[in-house]
Structure 1
Amino acid sequence: GMSLTLDRVAEEEKKSLTLKDVLLFVDGDTVKIGAPYVDGAIVKATVLSHGRGEKIRVATFKAKSKERKTIGHRQAETVLKIDTISAK
């Protein structure tokens, strides 16, 4: 299966996960578009790892007052392996 990196999911590593909020389902010539979600579509995935993304630096600056501040942020991420995608 395919691996996806997304925002942190509250599930332990190596555990199975079921996602029911599917927006689009394509199977060959069959295309189902959700409004807002596809009814009966299920994605089963496995949590491979948890980690943190690349560091982003944010700088603030105020003119004429010598005020400068730099902070950093790393987003919490989860890597999922997609096992199956099915729809009724």
Structure 2
Amino acid sequence: MFAIIKTGGKQIKVQKDDEIFIELLNEDENTKVTFNEVLMIDDKIGAPFIKGATVTGTIIKNGKDKKIRVIRYHSKKNIRKVYGHRQPYTKIKIDAISTGASATKKVTTQVPEASE
């Protein structure tokens, strides 16, 4: 069973026991978190979210990614700037995916035949 959740402005596909990296959450380690914005579970699609569906997980750690260096350079102008950035993240282990009662199934549309 898999689910697609929305968090931090991104959509992430998760399964039970997955470890995912998301935007930083202001929570401590070993804290349970619940994601209510579930877009899809297996073949059930929400409009836009599945009502009552939740994905729960445990925060493993908060940290920062490797530093990236951005260099700004203008030739013949003696302009050289170096910027650095470390993106903060939260690492989460997915514990459970629960479905909602009123999920809609994916429906394929059929074209009606023309009768003469």
Same fold (TM over 0.5): yes
Deviation at 1:64, TM superposition (A): 2.3
Task: Give structure 1 regions of 4+ aligned residues with deviation exceeding 3 angstroms.
Answer: none
Match for 2:62 among 29, 50, 54? 50
Q: Which has the higher strand share?
A: 1
Percentage of matched positions with identical amino acids: 38
| Partner in structure 1 of residue 52 of structure 2 | 40
| Partner in structure 2 of residue 7 of structure 1 | 23
| Partner in structure 1 of residue 99 of structure 2 | 87
Q: Secondary structure at the residue paired with 1:18?
A: strand
Match for 1:60 among 53, 69, 72? 72
Q: What is the CA–CA distance in structure 1 between the aligned matches of 2:60 and 2:24, rounded to whole Å?
A: 12
The TM-score normalised by the length of structure 2 is 0.68
| Partner in structure 2 of residue 22 of structure 1 | 38
Structure 1, unaligned runs of 5 or more: none
AA of the residue aligned to 1:56: I
Q: What is the CA–CA distance in structure 1 between the aligned matches of 2:23 and 2:87, rounded to whole Å?
A: 8
Structure 2, unaligned runs of 5 or more: 1-16, 101-116
Find the structure with the greater CA-based Rg: 2
Deviation at 1:60, TM superposition (A): 1.1
Aligned length: 84
Q: What is the CA–CA distance in structure 2 between the aligned matches of 1:71 and 1:77, rounded to whole Å?
A: 20
